[in-house]
């Protein structure tokens, strides 16, 4: 018989990794071998976190708390990144046959190029179909007119395919693509028929391409590996504690893994910020597994689905960590503000029995609202707030935003004051000097007769072409003065040598010097 699930939750406002590290080291999540100060006591434990950044941060927290000269830390791995398959499975429990049970995942670039080719072929077929020659101008927008259009559509299609694969429950027995084909009956507008025909690339042409090339989509392999890990943990008794923390189980395969870990004799699941302040009626109104369309946008929707899948109720979740009174009140205000519309009548009771206005003011004392007229003003305001905050001793500041453009604007503004930031999303390659140089080289090759494109490459700091940097700069200036200055040469890259020789002859050899 499986053990009762052991599920914990760290409330919003509490330092998640700090609380997790303390609960783990004190044995509250799962029993640890004695003595606790043995450097080898934690070696057999496994902790699964959503991201690689969380893995690095938890290692730092554990090292700080152990304070030993040397210790073997638990096996801490990410489960939210499909590229981390080598760290997901336990190498000691996996055979070569297990690794080869599923073909390798197709790379991101080959996938994009292959989908672009399929999209181009589909566009040519659609334009040659006489039954669709009378399509309206708006319906033609979906049909790629160039390779660039095909690449854009292929990128959108790839994201849709990943979303469908991620949200599909393998045990449900329903094919999402079959359901999609029912969305556009034949009596609907031609645009819907063209859209449905375009989606055939995903559920007809793409599976054939994958089969012919012996590869699978990254999301498919990720889900396969996660389910294989869940099956392994259920089949084999783990050598030490197994703890999964921070995941909401939004991927069905991950939810299966969390359910398996929660029922292990030495397993535990730690949820992030499960709302325990919302009353029962409000929590019930969020919706559940059987009504996924209801209140889908509520931030607690995913957690409610997960605890239902784990076979427990909200009352069965054990709270961990303490929150300062001001932060607890702020979280309660957020709970009431996000209450489902069906239960907003409870606002009157909260106001009547809730905290006085002074407590609310204290809870929101350091919270602010900025109304910006444009993106630049928004970035400047955020940068100023960050600069003021870091002036405090031992200050730690984080900007959390899904808007990458805003993040880059803020980083640029902070750079004016010499403040460097650690961007967890990394830097775009096309904005780095190396990426800019590669892009300029590509543009010069495409724009064969454009002097500006060629000179942009030659004058880039990374361009040396086997020469010294100063020598290369001198050669670029000679080429500009002799061949391009005052004229727009149409000789192309292949004719540069002849054009330079003609310029040398015209100048009487002066250009060569």
Confidence of residue 290 (pLDDT cuts 50, 70, 90): very low
Q: Which residues pair with 10 in a beta bridge?
A: 272
Mean pLDDT on 440-458: 79
Q: pLDDT tens across 184-194, in order?
A: 555 555 667 77
Please report the sign of the dihedral spanned by the C-alpha atoms of residue 230, residue 162, residue 75, residue 55.
Answer: negative
- Looking at residue 84, its pLDDT comes to 47
Q: pLDDT tens across 92-129, in order?
A: 444 445 555 678 889 888 999 999 999 999 888 877 76
- Spatial distance between the Cα atoms of 320 and 322, rounded to a whole number of angstroms: 7
DSSP state of 483: I
Confidence of residue 170 (pLDDT cuts 50, 70, 90): low
| Cα 375 to Cα 174, 371, 372, 404, distances in angstroms | 43, 11, 7, 12
Percentage above 70 pLDDT, the chain: 79
Confidence of residue 208 (pLDDT cuts 50, 70, 90): very high
- Which range of 178-192, 348-362, 373-387 scores highest in mean pLDDT? It is 373-387
- Which range of 89-103, 236-250, 490-504 scores highest in mean pLDDT? It is 236-250
- Looking at residue 447, its pLDDT comes to 72
- Spatial distance between the Cα atoms of 496 and 500, rounded to a whole number of angstroms: 6
Q: Which residues of 44-65 are buried (b: 16+ CB within 10 A; e: fewer)?
A: bbbbbbbbbebbebbbebbeee
- Looking at residue 82, its pLDDT comes to 44
The model carries a pTM of 0.73
Confidence of residue 490 (pLDDT cuts 50, 70, 90): low
Confidence of residue 307 (pLDDT cuts 50, 70, 90): very high
C-alpha closest to that of 248 among 319, 303, 301 = 303
Cβ 70 vs Cβ 81: under 8 Å: no
Q: What residues have CB less than 8 Å from 138, skipping those under 6 apart?
A: 191
Residue 362 confidence (pLDDT) above 50: yes
Q: Please report where in the chains the tokens 């004229």 appear, as a residue.
A: 487
Average pLDDT over the chain, rounded to an integer: 80
- Looking at residue 218, its pLDDT comes to 86
Cβ 339 vs Cβ 347: under 8 Å: yes
DSSP state of 318: E
Cβ 206 vs Cβ 118: under 8 Å: yes
Which is more confident, 345 or 494? 345
Q: pLDDT tens across 62-93, in order?
A: 988 887 667 788 999 988 554 444 445 444 44
269 sits in which H/E element: strand 267-272
Cβ 275 vs Cβ 283: under 8 Å: yes
Label residue 256 left, alpha or beta by phi (over 0 means left) and psi (-120 to 50 means alpha): alpha
DSSP state of 480: I
Task: Phi first, then psi: give them for residue 194, nearest 5 degrees.
Answer: -65, -40
Q: What residues have CB less than 8 Å from 10, skipping those under 6 apart?
A: 16, 19, 20, 270, 271, 272, 273, 319, 320, 321
Q: Please report where in the chains the tokens 């039954």 appear, as a residue.
A: 131
- Which range of 1-5, 135-139, 246-250 scores highest in mean pLDDT? It is 246-250
75 sits in which H/E element: strand 75-78
- Spatial distance between the Cα atoms of 499 and 342, rounded to a whole number of angstroms: 77
For the chain, state the CA radius of gyration. Answer: 30
Residue 508 confidence (pLDDT) above 60: yes
- Looking at residue 116, its pLDDT comes to 93
Confidence of residue 350 (pLDDT cuts 50, 70, 90): confident
CATH domain 7-97+221-323 topology: Rossmann fold (3.40.50)
Q: Which residues pair with 318 in a beta bridge?
A: 8
Mean pLDDT on 260-289: 86
Mean pLDDT on 367-373: 87
- Spatial distance between the Cα atoms of 261 and 269, rounded to a whole number of angstroms: 7
Which is more confident, 378 or 447? 378
**Half-sphere exposure of 348 toward its Cβ, with a 13 Å CA cutoff?**
2
Task: Phi first, then psi: give them for residue 273, nearest 5 degrees.
Answer: 60, 50
- Spatial distance between the Cα atoms of 57 and 246, rounded to a whole number of angstroms: 13
| Cα 272 to Cα 23, 144, 194, distances in angstroms | 14, 43, 43
Going from N- to C-terminal start, the domains of the chain cover: 7-97+221-323, 108-215, 375-426, 430-506
What is the DSSP track for 179-212?
HHGGGS-TTS-HHHHHHHHHHHIIIIIHHHHHHH
Which is more confident, 388 or 192? 388
7 sits in which H/E element: strand 7-10
Cβ 289 vs Cβ 171: under 8 Å: no
C-alpha closest to that of 77 among 235, 261, 252 = 261
Q: Which residues of 204-218 are buried (b: 16+ CB within 10 A; e: fewer)?
A: ebbeebbeeeebbbb
């Amino acid at each position: 018989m499986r053990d009762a699930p052991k599920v914990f939750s760290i409330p919003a406002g509490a330092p998640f990794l700090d609380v997790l590290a303390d609960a783990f080291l004190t044995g509250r999540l799962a029993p640890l071998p004695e003595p606790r100060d043995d450097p080898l006591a934690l070696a057999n434990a496994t902790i699964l976190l959503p991201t690689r950044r969380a893995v690095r941060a938890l290692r730092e927290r554990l090292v700080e708390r152990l304070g030993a000269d040397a210790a073997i830390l638990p096996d801490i791995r990410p489960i939210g990144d499909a590229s981390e398959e080598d760290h997901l499975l336990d190498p000691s429990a996996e055979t070569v046959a297990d690794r080869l049970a599923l073909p390798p995942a197709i790379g991101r670039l080959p996938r994009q190029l292959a989908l672009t080719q399929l999209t181009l072929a589909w566009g040519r077929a659609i334009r040659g179909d006489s039954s669709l020659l009378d399509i309206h101008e708006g319906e033609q927008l979906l049909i790629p007119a160039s390779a660039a259009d095909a690449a854009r559509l292929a990128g959108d299609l790839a994201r849709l395919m990943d979303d469908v694969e991620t949200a599909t429950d393998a045990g449900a027995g329903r094919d999402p693509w079959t359901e999609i084909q029912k969305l556009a009956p034949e009596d609907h507008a031609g645009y819907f028929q063209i859209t449905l025909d375009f989606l055939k690339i995903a559920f007809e042409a793409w599976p054939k391409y994958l089969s012919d090339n012996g590869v699978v989509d990254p999301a498919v392999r990720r889900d396969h590996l996660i389910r294989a890990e869940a099956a392994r943990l259920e089949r084999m008794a783990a050598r030490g504690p197994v703890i999964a923390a921070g995941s909401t189980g939004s991927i069905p395969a991950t939810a299966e893994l969390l359910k398996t870990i929660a029922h292990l004799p030495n397993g535990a699941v730690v949820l992030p910020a499960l709302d325990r302040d919302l009353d029962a009626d409000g929590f019930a109104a969020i919706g559940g597994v059987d009504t996924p369309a209801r209140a889908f946008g509520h931030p607690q929707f995913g957690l409610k689905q997960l605890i239902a899948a784990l076979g427990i109720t909200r009352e069965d979740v054990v709270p961990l960590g303490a929150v300062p009174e001001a932060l607890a009140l702020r979280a309660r205000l957020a709970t009431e503000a996000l209450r489902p519309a069906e239960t907003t009548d409870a606002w009157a009771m909260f106001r009547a029995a809730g905290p006085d206005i002074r407590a609310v003011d204290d809870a929101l004392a350091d919270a602010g609202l900025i109304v910006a007229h444009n993106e630049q003003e928004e970035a400047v305001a955020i940068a100023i707030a960050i600069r003021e905050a870091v002036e405090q001793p031992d200050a730690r500041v984080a900007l959390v935003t899904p808007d990458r453009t805003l993040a880059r604007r803020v980083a640029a503004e902070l750079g004016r004051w010499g403040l460097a930031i650690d961007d967890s999303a990394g830097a775009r390659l096309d904005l780095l000097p190396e990426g800019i140089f590669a892009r300029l080289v590509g543009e010069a090759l495409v724009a064969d007769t454009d002097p500006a494109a060629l000179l942009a490459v030659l004058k880039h700091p990374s361009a040396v072409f086997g020469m010294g940097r100063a020598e290369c700069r001198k050669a670029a200036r000679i080429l500009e003065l002799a061949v391009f200055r005052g004229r727009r040469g149409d000789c192309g890259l292949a004719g540069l040598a002849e054009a330079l020789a003609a310029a040398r002859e015209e100048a009487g050899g002066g250009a060569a010097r």
